[in-house]
Amino acid sequence: MKRGARWWKTVAGIVLKAETVISLAVGWIFVFVMPFRMTVQLLGRTTAVPAEGTAGSADRAANRPAPPPGVWRVTHAVCRVAPRLPWSCTCLVNALGAHLMLRRRGIRSVVRLGARIEDGKLQAHAWLLAGGETVLGGKIDQDFAPLAQIERSLAPEIPPKQSERG
């Protein structure tokens, strides 16, 4: 038995699998049940993709820092658990689930949304970036033009002060 397979059956591995199932269930609810506007409000904000963040920017890969520790364990768990669930885990569900797991660990991540036209049909894709590197859904992300991204700062959001009226 491989070392990774043994770890997957430890208490920590079982807890990670349970967290992954819950995060993917929440991601599924965000995608298929809730209005997108409400999903974005809960997850952070949508922004336009910066010009330097377009897909296929391999020339900057050497200058990027490695993703923080723990990212690969989360993405590996999502890739392993998602196909075994009884509901459909699309790329957006996977990206949102992993985004929630990373946010819980205090690791900043960005869900990027893109589209392409192939054979006259519009196709969409979502992928996850952490530490400036694509960590989930990246096998085909170079083929998609990034349109928007969902991100949230880890700092607590402070509501704006309301002026006191006399």
pLDDT on residue 56: 45
Please state, in angstroms and rounded to a whole number, the distance separating the CA atoms of residues 111 and 106.
15
pLDDT on residue 67: 79
Closest C-alpha to 132, from 76, 43, 57: 57
Contact 128, 98 (CB under 8 A): yes
- Cα torsion 136, 140, 144, 150 to 10°: value is -10
Tokens 């768990």 map to which residue?
77
Assigned token pair, 21: 């199932």
| pLDDT tens over the chain, length 166 residues | 455 567 667 888 899 999 999 999 999 999 999 998 888 888 877 777 876 544 444 444 555 677 777 899 999 999 999 999 999 999 999 999 999 999 999 999 999 999 999 899 999 999 999 988 899 988 776 788 888 899 875 554 455 555 544 4
pLDDT on residue 9: 78
Please state, in angstroms and rounded to a whole number, the distance separating the CA atoms of residues 103 and 83.
22
Contact 23, 97 (CB under 8 A): yes
pLDDT on residue 91: 94
